[in-house]
């Protein structure tokens, strides 16, 4: 059992693992904590945020049509909604442009000096 390593992120769910790992049957296990995650250092977060915003806007604008279902009456409500959501996602993914990638990378780049100095990053700004 000495070669077993349990890797934990910083989420609240695994926070009780350390208590459990003190039990006899876990003697020799090691716990490894991942470094804290920061969306400020991940450019994909801003990109997916833009895609999700586009999807939500489209859903709001077409809510009544989505609830009514297939006007031709061919598809079930479930099939119609899945088809609608797939089309919505295919349109929203076009938000993923070179320009937004560059913007996201530049946004992340400005936070690296503070991260390298282990500065605290305020949440939500």
DSSP β-bridge partners for residue 8: 33
Q: How many CB atoms lie within 10 A of CB 6?
A: 15
- pLDDT, tens digit, 9 for 90 and up, residues 78-88: 999 999 999 99
- pLDDT, tens digit, 9 for 90 and up, residues 64-102: 999 999 999 999 999 999 999 999 999 998 888 999 889
Say which residue, 12 or 116, is predicted with more confidence. Answer: 116
pTM, to two decimals: 0.59
Residue 124 has pLDDT above 70, yes or no: no
Report whether 61 contacts 91 (CB < 8 A).
no
Tokens of 87: 């089309």
Residue 1 has pLDDT above 60, yes or no: no
Q: What SS3 string covers the chain? A: CCCCEEEECCCCHHHHHHHHCCCHHHCCCEEEECCCCCHHHCHHHHHHHHHHHHHHHHHHHCHHHHHHCCCCCCCCHHHHHHHHHHHHHHHHHHHCCHHHHHHHHHHHHCCHHHHHCCCCCCCCC
Cβ-based neighbours of 103, under 8 Å, separated by 6 or more: 46
Q: Give pLDDT, residue 96.
A: 84
Give Cα 44 distance to the centre of its chain. 9
- pLDDT, tens digit, 9 for 90 and up, residues 15-53: 677 777 778 877 778 887 777 777 778 888 888 888 999
Q: Give pLDDT, residue 68.
A: 92
Tokens of 71: 């006007």
């Amino acid at each position: 059992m000495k070669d077993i390593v349990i890797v934990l992120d910083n989420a609240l769910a695994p926070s009780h693992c350390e208590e459990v790992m003190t039990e006899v049957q876990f003697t020799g296990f090691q716990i490894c904590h991942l470094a804290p995650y920061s969306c400020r250092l991940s450019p994909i977060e801003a990109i997916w945020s833009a895609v999700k915003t586009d999807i939500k806007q489209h859903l709001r604008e077409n809510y009544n049509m989505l609830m009514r279902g297939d006007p031709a009456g061919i598809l079930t409500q479930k099939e119609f909604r899945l088809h609608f959501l797939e089309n919505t996602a295919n349109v929203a993914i076009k938000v993923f442009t070179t320009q937004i990638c560059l913007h996201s990378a530049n946004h992340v780049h400005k936070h690296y000096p503070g991260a390298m100095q282990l500065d605290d990053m305020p949440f939500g700004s």
